[in-house]
Every structure is written in structure tokens, then in C-alpha cells.
Chain A
Amino acid sequence: AQKVTQAQTEISVVEKEDVTLDCVYETRDTTYYLFWYKQPPSGELVFLIRRNSFDEQNEISGRYSWNFQKSTSSFNFTITASQVVDSAVYFCALSESRNSNSGYALNFGKGTSLLVTP
């Protein structure tokens, strides 16, 4: 079963528009972590944010903001005043324990490809 769902496959916006990328997750753990990564055309995954399941405060970092809602199992990502450099594939990921000896392997969604045009 898919643990992380990113329903938007592709989004295209014009520069300076705001855009929200949706992420819905599924877990039975009470303690878990959620992440967003950016994958630009160069291919390297760039860490953006980590949230733990006990902290539902929304976070803002410059033009980026994240809305975590446990009631709806969602962790959405908004880019304000988008720029061409924001064009990339964005992945939401869930980190939960797989077994007592494991680290927190990440379960990724399929990603949302964002294209920002001038």
C-alpha cells in the first residue's frame, strides 16, 4: 500500500504565482517524521524540511511554508511568489521504524514535477 501519496503529478505556474504541493501519508506509528526533498534537473535530492509527528506548528522559511495537519494526515508545501529556479521535482517522504534494528528508511511519494515559466 502506498504510504505517501502525491496526487499532483505535474504542476505548471507562471513566475510569481503561489503554488501548493499536496502530500497525504499513511502510518500506524505514533512517532514518525515527514520530509520534503527537492530534486532539480541535476538529479541530486536536496533536503528542505523535517517535521516530527508531535509538532504540528506550521513552518515558514523564506518563500517556503509547510502545513502539517495530523487530522487529515497531510503535510502540504507552499511556495510563495514562485521563481523559475523553483522548477524541480518535489518529493514528500515518511520516516517510520521498519523493525527494531532499522534506521528510519524513507518512504517516498512519486513526486510532483513543478514547472515555473517566466
Chain B
Amino acid sequence: GAGVSQTPSNKVTEKGKYVELRCDPISGHTALYWYRQSLGQGPEFLIYFQGTGAADDSGLPNDRFFAVRPEGSVSTLKIQRTERGDSAVYLCASSLGETRTDTQYFGPGTRLTVL
């Protein structure tokens, strides 16, 4: 079946602009995670959704970052007043969410470049 999809694959924006990154999880997966991967680093956790609610947003770096998942499927990561330091690959993962042990499957990521 279809895996996790993310759009756009690449996003170039100017400092100070607003961006939205979209994640479409695997059908039937209730848990959804956002991670950020900087060059040469492993992915770092940003936020976790179980269904429609953000159960853990402790990884969001500051209040410029926000994410929603209004219908419990597609999620959007929103970044306000982008800064050059926000440049990274933003990864989305989903899992069945039926137990806390379910494997997370990752999308291809969105490469964000802030000029």
C-alpha cells in the first residue's frame, strides 16, 4: 500500500516568511510524528499526534512552530517568521498507534531552505 507522503519535497523561502509543510500518513495509522533532521545529524523529535490531538509537543523549538491534524489524518507543520536556522529536512512518520510499541514509518521528507 501507499507509504507516508510529504509535500512539497523541496521548499525555498525567504527569511521572515511563513511556510506550511504537509504530511499524509499511512491509511489507518492513528499516531503521527514530526521530526527535523539537520545536515549530518539524526532526526530530532518535534511533535506527536494521537488522533487529532497533539499529545506531546515538547520537541517544538519555539512558538514559531505549530502543527495541526484536524481530522486525525493529514497533518500540517506551520512555521512562522522563518529563520535561516530553520533550514533542515522535516520528516513525518506514522504508526498504527494501537500500542506504544508500533514501528514508525517515515516519509521522504521536505527539504526546507530559508535564504
Contact = CB atoms under 8 A, between A and B. Distances in A.
Interface of A: 4, 33, 35, 37, 42-47, 50, 52, 91, 93, 95, 97-99, 101-111
B44 interface: yes
B33 A103 contact: yes
B103 A101 contact: no
A50 B105 CA distance: 12
A97 to B, nearest CB: 7
B40 A105 contact: no
Contact of B56 (A43, A45, A95, A102): A102
Contact of A43 (B50, B100, B101, B109): B109
Contacts of A50: 101, 103
A105 B48 contact: yes
A106 B103 contact: no
Interface residues of B, number: 29
Given A44-B108, A52-B101, A106-B33, 14 more contacts: A35-B103, A37-B106, A44-B106, A45-B93, A46-B106, A50-B101, A50-B103, A91-B42, A95-B101, A101-B56, A102-B56, A106-B43, A106-B104, A110-B41
Contacts of A110: 40-42
Contacts, number: 72
A46 B88 CA distance: 19
B23 interface: no
A91 B40 CA distance: 11
A104 B106 contact: no
Interface string B9-21: 0000000000000
Interface in B34-67: 35, 40-45, 48, 50, 55-56, 58-59
Contacts of A101: 55-56
B42 A111 contact: yes
B97 interface: yes
Interface string B80-115: 000000000101010101001101111111000000
B31 interface: yes
A47 B4 CA distance: 13
B103 A43 contact: no
